[in-house]
Chains A and B, each alone.
Chain A
Amino acid sequence: MLHYIGKRLLQLIPVLLGMTFIVFMIIRAIPGDPAQVILGQLASKEAIEALRGKLGLDNPWYTQYFDYLIGLFKGDLGESMRTVQPVADEIWPYLAATFELALFAIIIAVIIGVNAGIISAWFQNSWFDYLAMVIALIGVSMPIFWLGLLEQWFFGIELQWLPTSGREEVRNPVSAVTNLYVLDTIINGRFDQLGQVLKHLVLPGIALATIPMAIIARMTRSSMLEVMRADFVRTARAKGQKMFWVVYKHALKNAIIPVLTVIGLQTGLLLGGAILTETIFSWPGIGRYIYEAIQFRDYPVIQSGILVVAFIFVMINLLVDILYGLIDPRIKYD
């Protein structure tokens, strides 16, 4: 097992290196000059040239790339051109914000999605099955942008139940320790704030959960349908086992592997930042951080931001692969 993990981690290196190279080339291929964006519209040509020199943008691309790589190996993610802060210092609060939201969303998506899929398969062609799958279809095709604004209007403005923007009640700000606000409020012992922070998670969490929930439900259903036709299910039934246990214990265990893959991929996607959700709900997350960096052509932030996100993505997939082995003893990594 350890051998396998080690091998996988080693494989990561060329993947991440290749990715830094692609990102590096793409952002330099698009027009737009960081120096111009930083200095604003009134800047003179000389000043732009001078700043380009200072930022090292005059060097040939391979020098720039290797300088960046050398920095990476020293653990230096570079410095934001716009805010002049080290990316490593800047990135954590954004990452934490995204992490908190993504975790919340994936928990909703898994609990509702997996159960809806199971019940749909169990009672195939029932009204529940049809309803769940129609909702799932709507869920996958729903534009997040529109869903988000609709949620704001209904739960925020009409019902006045939930806040529509940000991570906290700004009149009663959370003092950040880890930047995971749910954790911070508990550490600080501010349980009044914990409620507020959780409330702020609900609407963006639902918006973000919609698509993964629908995909998970559909995947669980089809995987379960296949397994339910298997002989061992019939045998278990014939032995007189209760249907509930047959479904939730025997069948689910055999059906869960493809579902797990989907959950892993979706979690990775959510952590990669959900720009639309983060924009609509003013969530200061990693997606918006990178998106804004693109608008400002803030090369180090774009490069390192994507690198960090990609790293998390592959790590989650590794984790899922390890989980396979734990759940299904037939899968062995040696």
Chain B
Amino acid sequence: MGKKKIWSFITLMVFALILVLAACSSDDTSSEQPKKEDEGTTEKETSSTGNKVLIFGRGGDSVSLDPIAVTDGESFKVTQNVFETLLNFGEQDTTIHEGLATKWEPSEDGLTYTFTLREGVKFHDGTDFNAEAVVKNFERWASGSEDKFPYYASMFGGFKDDEGHVIESVTADGDYTVVFKLKRAQAPFLKNIAMSPFGIASPTAFESAGEKFGDSPVGTGPFKFVEWKRNDSITIEKFADYWADGLPKLDKIIFRSIPDNSARLNALLTGEIDLADGVNPADGKTVEGDSNLQLFERPSMNVGYLGLTTTRPPFDNVKVRQAINYAIDKQSIIDAFFEGRAEIAKNPMPPSISGYNEDIPGYEYDPAKAKALLAEAGFADGFEMELWAMPVPRPYMPDGTKVAEVIQKNLEDIGVKAKIVSYEWATYLEKARNGEADAFMLGWTGDNGDADNFIYVLLDQDNIGSNNYTYYSNEDLHKILIEAQTEVDEDKRNELYKQAQEIIYKDAPWVPLAHSTPLLAGKADLTGFLPHPTGSDKLTNVDFK
């Protein structure tokens, strides 16, 4: 190739590029105005013809859309609208209501449950919903394994050949009656049935799709699956044959992943999304001050805490743990970093949960008392420790590092020198689970609103090495918690949990910090959106004014 040719070629390319760029930029500016109006009119037109689209911005993508196969909240946010469970939680609480079953009767001994199913329900692929379908779903789950269906294992004690498996049998009695027989009573059984992972799937679809079912989910829900662009968006649209007349109100929902909280709020402000999950507490006021937007509060069902690893000296000494509890000024933390949208925690579970012990006094902020306790424990001059700060924001802990700094100052006041350390999230969890932290920040959002899902999961000795990160064990507590799991009488059961909370209060394995109220923001004309405490929102009744 001659020199000249190369040069004329390069010049030509540059010219072409400049032209293209000029074309783009002129397109951006000159056609801006008319395009805006275009969009405006089409929106109006379409809303009058009933084409209502909601764009829901959230922090991450789903892992799979087969609800039984996943444990992450971002998957359930979608499947909650594609699948339905036999029973539903209340609109904003975890009481039990009818779902695909209209009636449910437990036997006297709590070992048999008879469900009467809703008639005239169809799956999105046209398959009839009936007792046989329910039985097939439970058969599919019970013959799985924990790596396939993790929530089934943790809620129903394993799989069909396991010793601990709670369900003896699930049988159809006619077309619309299903009978569950249990090996032993399980107090939160109905609450478990209502959890999003146990959405009933079309047997035709999961039998033919096999492992790929999570890419093309088929349920009975108000919306059916349309498209999934990984890490970007998931689209679901109205199911025309939905059993409830006039529902859902929206025609389409698009879930968009916008990982950064500030960027998500920006997208809401520009109108690229209609509803934003995970609003920073600090942005709550901005949203409230904007007449085009409204702020939603998700009812609190979480706890953020500072765990004290009870096997690591000096935290093996109960007096030291109590001293740390007295030393920390929870109210200041809540005012500064939760913008007041949280309440002080004194128990390991939030007050909305049945069995919460109101009478626990909690450890008030009292540095003098803390110092005295430290002296009693033989640490009058304090000691040095590591304080682990959460590297990621979570609804129960919006800014781990800053909260850690306050705690560090509080501890300094009683003579304890805390060094703040942090790791990448998966590393943090692994090291804390191995008991490598002196004191670490963590939290929990409830799955089903049951006390067992907080106290047993987080503090029983059975869960050391999994969710009991503090290695706390107490034989009396263990007995009470195991008894409560099978106690069917609600009052007796609540009494057991109240006792459990007293033991935990005295042993002080944690400094419970806060029960926060997670925030969402949406367009002002959005109606019928009720955020659910579990984080899985049903969008059936959502509409635009």
Binding site for B on A (CB under 8 A): 30-33, 35-47, 50-51, 54, 82-84, 90, 93-94, 107-108, 111, 148-149, 152-153, 156-157, 160-167, 170-171, 173, 176, 195, 198-199, 202, 249, 253, 279-282, 284, 288-289, 292, 295-297, 326-327, 329
Q: Which of B127-135, B255-263, B366-374, B476-484 contacts A (4 or more CB under 8 A)?
A: B255-263
Taking a contact as CB atoms under 8 Å apart, the answer to whether A165 and B18 are in contact is no
Given contacts A31-B430, A198-B27, contact A288 B231 (CB under 8 A): yes
The distance in angstroms between the C-alpha atoms of A296 and B28, with both chains bound, is: 39
CB contacts (< 8 Å) of A54 on chain B: these are 147
CB contacts (< 8 Å) of B64 on chain A: these are 83-84
A contacts with B: majority SS: helix
Most buried by A among B29, B211, B272: B272
Binding site for A on B (CB under 8 A): 1, 3, 6-7, 14, 17-18, 21, 24, 27-29, 31-32, 35-36, 53, 55, 57, 60, 63-64, 71-72, 145-147, 150-151, 153-154, 211, 227, 229-233, 235, 254, 256-260, 262-264, 266-267, 269-270, 272-273, 423-427, 429-431, 433, 447, 457, 465-467
A108 interface neighbour in B21, B36, B60, B457, Cβ under 8 Å: B21
Taking a contact as CB atoms under 8 Å apart, the answer to whether B466 and A282 are in contact is no
The distance in angstroms between the C-alpha atoms of A111 and B17, with both chains bound, is: 9
Taking a contact as CB atoms under 8 Å apart, the answer to whether B231 and A292 are in contact is yes
The distance in angstroms between the C-alpha atoms of A185 and B57, with both chains bound, is: 25
Most buried by B among A163, A284, A296: A284
Taking a contact as CB atoms under 8 Å apart, the answer to whether A39 and B263 are in contact is no
A50 interface neighbour in B146, B230, B233, Cβ under 8 Å: B146
The distance in angstroms between the C-alpha atoms of A234 and B412, with both chains bound, is: 71
The distance in angstroms between the C-alpha atoms of A329 and B6, with both chains bound, is: 12
Most buried by B among A40, A42, A173, A199: A42
How far apart are A274's CB and chain B's nearest CB, in angstroms? 14
The distance in angstroms between the C-alpha atoms of A292 and B60, with both chains bound, is: 10
Closest 6 CB pairs of A and B: A40-B71, A47-B146, A32-B426, A51-B147, A42-B154, A284-B231
Taking a contact as CB atoms under 8 Å apart, the answer to whether A284 and B232 are in contact is yes
How far apart are B405's CB and chain A's nearest CB, in angstroms? 21
Taking a contact as CB atoms under 8 Å apart, the answer to whether B71 and A39 are in contact is yes
The distance in angstroms between the C-alpha atoms of A149 and B63, with both chains bound, is: 28
Given contacts A42-B71, A111-B14, A160-B270, contact A90 B426 (CB under 8 A): no
B150 interface neighbour in A39, A45, A284, A296, Cβ under 8 Å: A39
Taking a contact as CB atoms under 8 Å apart, the answer to whether B427 and A282 are in contact is no
Taking a contact as CB atoms under 8 Å apart, the answer to whether B231 and A42 are in contact is no
Given contacts A47-B145, A157-B266, 19 further A-B contacts (CB under 8 A): A39-B146, A39-B150, A40-B151, A41-B466, A43-B150, A44-B153, A44-B154, A46-B146, A111-B14, A149-B263, A170-B233, A170-B272, A195-B31, A198-B24, A279-B260, A280-B260, A282-B263, A284-B231, A289-B231
Taking a contact as CB atoms under 8 Å apart, the answer to whether A282 and B258 are in contact is yes
The distance in angstroms between the C-alpha atoms of A44 and B211, with both chains bound, is: 23
Given contacts A149-B266, A152-B266, A202-B28, contact A173 B272 (CB under 8 A): no
Could you name 13 residue pairs across A and B whose Cβ atoms are closer than 8 Å?
Answer: A50-B145, A148-B263, A166-B272, A171-B254, A173-B227, A173-B233, A198-B24, A198-B27, A279-B260, A282-B256, A282-B259, A288-B259, A326-B6
Most buried by A among B154, B235, B423, B426: B426
Taking a contact as CB atoms under 8 Å apart, the answer to whether B270 and A164 are in contact is yes
Taking a contact as CB atoms under 8 Å apart, the answer to whether B430 and A156 are in contact is no
CB contacts (< 8 Å) of A152 on chain B: these are 263, 266, 270
Given contacts A31-B431, A279-B259, contact A47 B153 (CB under 8 A): yes
Taking a contact as CB atoms under 8 Å apart, the answer to whether B426 and A284 are in contact is no
Taking a contact as CB atoms under 8 Å apart, the answer to whether A163 and B270 are in contact is yes
CB contacts (< 8 Å) of A164 on chain B: these are 263, 266-267, 270, 272
Given contacts A31-B430, A42-B71, A282-B259, contact A295 B229 (CB under 8 A): no
The distance in angstroms between the C-alpha atoms of A35 and B36, with both chains bound, is: 49
CB contacts (< 8 Å) of A33 on chain B: these are 430
Taking a contact as CB atoms under 8 Å apart, the answer to whether A42 and B72 are in contact is no
CB contacts (< 8 Å) of A249 on chain B: these are 7
> Taking CB as reference atom, which chain B residue is nearest A46?
B146
Given contacts A171-B55, A195-B27, contact A297 B426 (CB under 8 A): yes
How far apart are A22's CB and chain B's nearest CB, in angstroms? 19
The distance in angstroms between the C-alpha atoms of A166 and B254, with both chains bound, is: 13
The distance in angstroms between the C-alpha atoms of A37 and B457, with both chains bound, is: 17
Taking a contact as CB atoms under 8 Å apart, the answer to whether B28 and A198 are in contact is yes
Given contacts A33-B430, A107-B17, A111-B17, contact A42 B266 (CB under 8 A): no
How far apart are A299's CB and chain B's nearest CB, in angstroms? 12
The distance in angstroms between the C-alpha atoms of A288 and B153, with both chains bound, is: 32
How far apart are B476's CB and chain A's nearest CB, in angstroms? 24
CB contacts (< 8 Å) of B272 on chain A: these are 163-166, 170
CB contacts (< 8 Å) of B270 on chain A: these are 152, 156-157, 160, 163-164
> Taking CB as reference atom, which chain B residue is nearest A93?
B230
CB contacts (< 8 Å) of A43 on chain B: these are 146, 150, 153-154, 466
Taking a contact as CB atoms under 8 Å apart, the answer to whether A157 and B269 are in contact is yes
Taking a contact as CB atoms under 8 Å apart, the answer to whether A40 and B150 are in contact is yes
Taking a contact as CB atoms under 8 Å apart, the answer to whether B147 and A42 are in contact is no
The distance in angstroms between the C-alpha atoms of A202 and B21, with both chains bound, is: 11
The distance in angstroms between the C-alpha atoms of A31 and B425, with both chains bound, is: 10
The distance in angstroms between the C-alpha atoms of A154 and B63, with both chains bound, is: 34
> Taking CB as reference atom, which chain A residue is nearest B63?
A82
The distance in angstroms between the C-alpha atoms of A165 and B447, with both chains bound, is: 31
CB contacts (< 8 Å) of B24 on chain A: these are 198, 202
CB contacts (< 8 Å) of A107 on chain B: these are 17, 21
The distance in angstroms between the C-alpha atoms of A249 and B4, with both chains bound, is: 11
The distance in angstroms between the C-alpha atoms of A149 and B256, with both chains bound, is: 18
How far apart are A320's CB and chain B's nearest CB, in angstroms? 14
A327 interface neighbour in B6, B150, B235, Cβ under 8 Å: B6
